[in-house]
Structure 1
Amino acid sequence: MNYDTFVDQVAQRTGTSSQRAVELIRATLRTLAERLTGGEVMDLALQLPEPLRLPLRPTPDTEAAQRFGAAEFVARVAVRAGVEEPAARDVVGAVFTTIREAVTGGEFDELVVQLPRDYRDMVEPAMAPGATLRRR
């Protein structure tokens, strides 16, 4: 999936402009980079369009996975994106669904297994057959 398509999919799913979708994607990816191990972050980054790799770039703070639950994940995205937590939960779902569509070879499944059980409500909709947008 190319960059413009990724951004357009998130914009459509969140009902925002493309510019705002980019901010929401970056907030989610940066938080995801904190939660996943460095190797998994790099595997994911290699399958995403080049402009989306920057928020996934490892830093000393993100080299090892931080342990935090789904509520903290949503709270961090909310702060970074400047939205309320219910909206952040929707953003996370939209980005996860778009990631699932963009990556190949079971990469999304490998990402999901690193997340604790309390992430299930955010991740399972992305895995559902109806999660994919219809292409025009």
Structure 2
Amino acid sequence: MQFSEFLGQVQHRLSLPGEGEALRATRATLTTLGERLQAGEANDLAASLPMEIDRFLTAAEPGQRFDFAEFVTRVAERSDTEPQDAVYQAKQVVALVAESVAPGELAQVRGQLPDDYDPLFEFVEQEPPSA
């Protein structure tokens, strides 16, 4: 997926007025996620994303430990939104990332996060169980 297509999808899913707002929501979510993940996992996830977006995951100081409430607070501050809007935006951005990366990549991301992050993956389609 190309950068403009990715931002267009974020803009559409979040009913945002412009690409600037879509970029802000994407940056806020991925920068915060990049801070929470270990460096190797952030790099793996970033590898399948457009280069204009992948840097958000990899530019942050990785491996920080914070709960989902702090994740939401950081995303809300970075995107200049209310926490409930930040949660929805983050869910939509993560769902689009899941559609853009190799199958199973998001499962590895989930494996690094505690259970309180489960709401972040609400809109991600579940992979069918392996036989």
Compared with structure 1, are the counterparts of its residues 13 and 109 closer, same or farther at alpha carbon in structure 2 (3 Å cutoff)?
same
In the alignment, what sits opposite 2:34?
33
Query: Residue deviations 1:71-93, cap 9 Å, x none?
Result: 11011000001000010001101
Give the stretch that moved more between structures: 37-46 or 2-11: 2-11
Mapped contact 1:47–1:102 kept (Cα < 8 A):
yes
In the alignment, what sits opposite 1:13?
13
Runs of 5+ consecutive residues of structure 2 not aligned to the other structure = none
TM-score normalised by L of structure 2: 0.89
Mapped contact 1:36–1:66 kept (Cα < 8 A):
yes
Mapped contact 1:38–1:58 kept (Cα < 8 A):
no
Q: Please tell me the root mean square deviation across aligned C-alpha atoms, in Å.
A: 1.5
Distance 1:95 1:3 in 2: 13
TM-score normalised by L of structure 1: 0.86
Q: Does the residue aligned with 1:53 lie in a helix, a strand or coil?
A: helix
- Selected match of 1:103 from 92, 101, 110: 101
Distance 2:59 2:75 in 1: 18
In the alignment, what sits opposite 1:3?
3
Q: Which amino acid aligns with 1:118?
A: D
Q: Which amino acid aligns with 1:5?
A: E
Mapped contact 1:31–1:76 kept (Cα < 8 A):
yes
In the alignment, what sits opposite 1:48?
49
Stretches of 4+ moved more than 6 A in 1? none
Runs of 5+ consecutive residues of structure 1 not aligned to the other structure = 130-136
Q: Which amino acid aligns with 2:15?
A: G
Structure 1 residue 128 displacement after superposition: 4.9
Q: Which amino acid aligns with 2:38?
A: T
Q: Which amino acid aligns with 2:13?
A: R
In the alignment, what sits opposite 1:66?
64
Mapped contact 2:76–2:82 kept (Cα < 8 A):
yes
Structure 1 residue 58 displacement after superposition: 4.0
* Identical residues among aligned pairs (%): 37
Distance 1:97 1:10 in 2: 10
Structure 1 residue 30 displacement after superposition: 0.6
Query: Residue deviations 1:106-126, cap 9 Å, x none?
Result: 111111111110111221322
Structure 1 residue 69 displacement after superposition: 1.2
